[in-house]
Amino acid sequence: MRVVITTVYWKGSPGGGIKTFLTNLARELQKRGSKVDVIFREGDDPENYKIEDSSILPLNILKAFFTLMKLKPQVIHSHGGMYYYLIAGHIYRAFHRVRLVYTFHTEPPAGQTLSPLRKKFLQILLGSCDCVTFVSKTLESKVEEIWGLQFKNSAVTYAGVEPVMVQEAEVQEFQDRFNLSNDSKVLLALGLTALSYKAEGLKLLISAVKKVSLRYPNVVLVATRKGKCLDELKEYARAEGIEDRVVFTGDIDSPYVPLALCDIYTHISLGEGLPIALLEAMAMGKPIIATPVGGIPEAIKDGYNGVLVKADADEIAAKIIYLLEREEVARELGERARETARETFSWDKAAGRFLEIYGR
């Protein structure tokens, strides 16, 4: 089967969870015998097809269409946001027999409404796909609720995750690079600096760390990714007077190194699909504190394989202290999280689900 994936973010881009999702999905599909090509806007991969964005929308559509004509796919699988790729897919389908699939990864901003014309356009564009998929059940409900769209052919397609072995030397290098002492109580937040609703959650976490530091002066919050909200978040930490307790790493090569180091993984966000960062923490057997937004409650059951908290700094701080003071409870939560990741979230299962959709 020849599959073309279209996406904004690909290898070498700051694409966060979508990039991780697609690189792993493409690898798994190829392992199963599919030929996978990728059309992308941001990144660096000479083996695939980068389309430079133009301010002239029809030109973008034509570029994508002629690339599809060159590749002659049996399946076109579009991901997240850039609808001109999907328009090009529809045009291609007018001339060739091909299945068209679209995947939502993130929920629309709360309160965002569509104009009647845009809503009708998206309903036609997405509704005429062979299948529209969502990375969580909740995400599908949110898109239907916020945008008022309906999908007669839809499916939930969870991401996968695999634990990665991390060498002690890698952890030590990370500690040295960011001046983390061996006796620090390390909290970790992956990728919450890029989108405003994630950044607002990270601000709550920073405020919670200020409260935790009164009991644990050696607590440190490590926040990764060089997102658009980074400067705003740094200023917030300064305003809270705990800039020395928050380490902003910018982009890192592997999330698994700080995951191996941290004592607790904290995913405090005000909106999500189902974050791959959370699944990575689960696969590494880490105790997790997270807000019950998006698809997170589909992976984390409060008190069983993690802790779910309201978006409230006092409650977040109380739960952090609770786990720091009860190492055995934290260890058991992490082990159950690892078991859940192994049983439910694998790239083998994810690829199998998509192949079923491609061949339906």
Quick check: 94 pLDDT over 90? yes
Note whether 61 and 180 are same-domain residues: no
pLDDT bucket at 107, cuts 50 / 70 / 90: confident
Note whether 144 and 174 are same-domain residues: no
Handedness of CA 37, 42, 47, 52 (dihedral sign): positive
Q: What is the pLDDT of residues 244-284, one digit of tens each?
A: 999 999 999 999 999 999 999 999 999 998 999 999 999 99
pLDDT bucket at 84, cuts 50 / 70 / 90: confident
**Reading across the β-sheet that carries 49-50, which strands appear in turn?**
49-50, 35-42, 2-9, 75-79, 99-104, 131-134, 154-156
Note whether 146 and 64 are same-domain residues: yes
Nearest C-alpha neighbor of 142 from the set 292, 271, 267: 271
Strands 246-250 and 219-224 come out as parallel
Phi and psi torsions of 33, nearest 5°: 100, 0
Note whether 207 and 105 are same-domain residues: no
Which one-letter DSSP state was computed for residue 302? B
Note whether 109 and 98 are same-domain residues: yes
d(CA 89, CA 68): 8
Note whether 223 and 131 are same-domain residues: no
Select the more confidently predicted residue: 349 or 163.
349
Q: What is the mean pLDDT of residues 199-216?
A: 98
Which one-letter DSSP state was computed for residue 223? E
Quick check: 121 pLDDT over 90? yes
Q: Tell me the residue range of the domain where 268 lies.
A: 168-344
Note whether 151 and 250 are same-domain residues: no
Q: Are 63 and 49 in contact (CB under 8 A)?
A: no
pLDDT bucket at 360, cuts 50 / 70 / 90: low
Q: What is the mean pLDDT of residues 206-214?
A: 98
Note whether 332 and 352 are same-domain residues: no
Note whether 122 and 227 are same-domain residues: no
Note whether 86 and 28 are same-domain residues: yes
Q: Are 225 and 254 in contact (CB under 8 A)?
A: no
Note whether 103 and 172 are same-domain residues: no
Q: Which two tokens stand for residue 349?
A: 């299962």
Give the domain CATH number at 200: 3.40.50.2000
The whole-chain average pLDDT of the chain stands at 95
Our count of domains for the chain comes to 2
Note whether 220 and 276 are same-domain residues: yes
